[in-house]
Amino acid sequence: MRLFSDLKLFNPALAYTFEPESSPKALMSGEDMNETPFKFGQFDDMIEAYLYAEEVILPWIQEHGIEAITPELLEDWILNIHQRMGKTLLSLSEEKSGEYSKVLISRWHYGSNMMNMIGMYMAKLFNPMPSFAQFVSILVEEHKGLNRTDAAQFLKIMQRIAQQDDAPIHPSLKEKMRLEPPLVDFTLAINRLATAWHEDLLSAEDRKVVEKIVLFVDYPERLPAKMRAFTEAIVPQWKKLNKDDLDGVATFCSDLFPQFTHIHPFPNANGRTAVELMNIVLRSIGLPDILMRKPGDRGATTGSYAEAIACIEKDRAPLKAHLLKCIAEAQTKPFSDPVLEQLVATRMAANEISKQIWAIKPGYDLTKITARLVNYPILNLLDPNNNNHALLCSQLVLAISKEVLTELQNEVEKKKATAVSVTSVSLLKPTYDRAFLQSKMEELSGVAGWKITIKDALSIWRNCASESEAKTIVAELKQFGFCRAEVRTVQGTGGKIVLCDAIDQEKMKTASKSSVAEPLNP
């Protein structure tokens, strides 16, 4: 597990302040500890991506100079950054981090959860199923700033186009489209809507509604060319930057970020990659890296960040002003929140324990860990919105996670010890060829009917018709000296048997009637 302190050049707050995405399952069913590996793996990815910049990109620039950067090299850096940044986010999809998207990508202005909710509604997965009006209310309530009329009109467009069988779907989208129940209607609708957007098939009224809700990225086949054009455009501009011209730097960054996210070359983690690219530029010219968004900014509807993002597609001035503010803050007092850093680090440590638990016992229900929290009623007095309180709770979860891991490790060791013990006993216990033993006993005794018993030791016995017969057989066997042969009386019936034990198998193998001297006649 990487640590925030591993970052030496970039502000560790870049990694611990960002808000990771929840897994699709968590969005549908709610967060629980089984979904935390997806969430907290993103922090590891963030650290790895910035370490790549620290260890590879910035040293290269320092050695060769900004003038030596080429569009091809920059594109390679971007792919390598995303390979690390998007690793966890794309772990649940067929797409790979570090590769341009090969499927339809849509950017939802109110968050990707809106797409998930609409998909669930069209698939009738809600229980109970809300009415149209009720669902619109849910969308508005869940997504701050969303206009009710816009939400209703967009939902009607999606429902209508899902039923328009003659609505075209671009070949590059159809090639990758999967019509899998229960999301058939949603899949058809979103691919038809994307095609209608790019081919200008929407009415002016519908187009206005759609652009308020979602932005459709260009067809996948066009993304590589768009990214090459992007790098060819910004490299010359990068080379002209001067750290003393903050206005020029802010103008450059206010273009770089929206241009990159508008192209949206990757299935996910585009914003994070764009911010890192911007911070690499700042570091390369001697300026500090910046936090574009501080804790709490994501859901805010006011403030310089919210204002900048709200109009980013039409007016870059608010974004430029926000970036100038961020640079000034970074120059005077870089952002730091030790409690938040410790909180996230503790949760990451618990996540690391969770992965070890799953390595020992795949599928282990991690909610069993949080279930043990009921043994600590003091937690009911804590405020989850207070980071100090949240830290205390997270430290407790970490401690319980370690207990569970130790318990599982002990179980494994016990099973190993038992297996070794059983194996040892098996190795110590000799093996016997029953067919050989019976055949040999018949050969040496001259009679059949021998039975073999293997408990603590090997014994061979035979029922006899009379004591006289038994004594004759015993006398015969004693000549060979490979066992202890005795006449025994069966308790209860009084019958006679010959019992042979203390058997030396090696002597038995070599024994033969021909080796026993015939008695001399008197």
Predicted local confidence at residue 51, as pLDDT: 98
* Res 518 pLDDT > 60: no
Tell me the average pLDDT of the chain.
92
What backbone phi and psi angles, to 5 degrees, belong to 215?
A: -115, 125
In whole angstroms, what is the distance from residue 425 CA to residue 422 CA? 5
Q: pTM to 2 decimals?
A: 0.74
| CB neighbour list of residue 332: distance below 8 Å, 6 or more residues apart | none
* Res 519 pLDDT > 50: no
* Res 193 pLDDT > 70: yes
Q: Where are the alpha helices (DSSP H) in 333-453?
A: 338-360, 367-371, 387-428, 434-445
Average pLDDT for 317-331: 96
Predicted local confidence at residue 417, as pLDDT: 82
* Res 370 pLDDT > 60: yes
Q: How far is CA 454 from CA 431, 459, 496, 501, 503, in A?
A: 10, 6, 21, 10, 12
Range picked from 297-306, 386-395, 453-462, 487-496 for highest mean pLDDT: 386-395
Task: Indicate the pLDDT class of residue 312, thresholds 50, 70 and 90.
Answer: confident
Task: Indicate the pLDDT class of residue 298, thresholds 50, 70 and 90.
Answer: confident
* Res 430 pLDDT > 60: yes
User: Coil, helix or strand for 318?
Assistant: helix
Predicted local confidence at residue 85, as pLDDT: 97
Predicted local confidence at residue 306, as pLDDT: 87
CA pseudo-torsion sign 498, 503, 504, 508: positive
DSSP character at residue 377: G
DSSP character at residue 472: H
CA pseudo-torsion sign 295, 299, 302, 305: positive
Average pLDDT for 301-320: 88
- Closest Cα to residue 274, out of 312, 307, 219? 312
Predicted local confidence at residue 416, as pLDDT: 84
Predicted local confidence at residue 421, as pLDDT: 62
Predicted local confidence at residue 381, as pLDDT: 87
CA atoms within 13 A on the CB side of 497: 17
* Res 288 pLDDT > 90: yes
Predicted local confidence at residue 380, as pLDDT: 86
* Res 454 pLDDT > 90: no
Task: Indicate the pLDDT class of residue 272, thresholds 50, 70 and 90.
Answer: very high
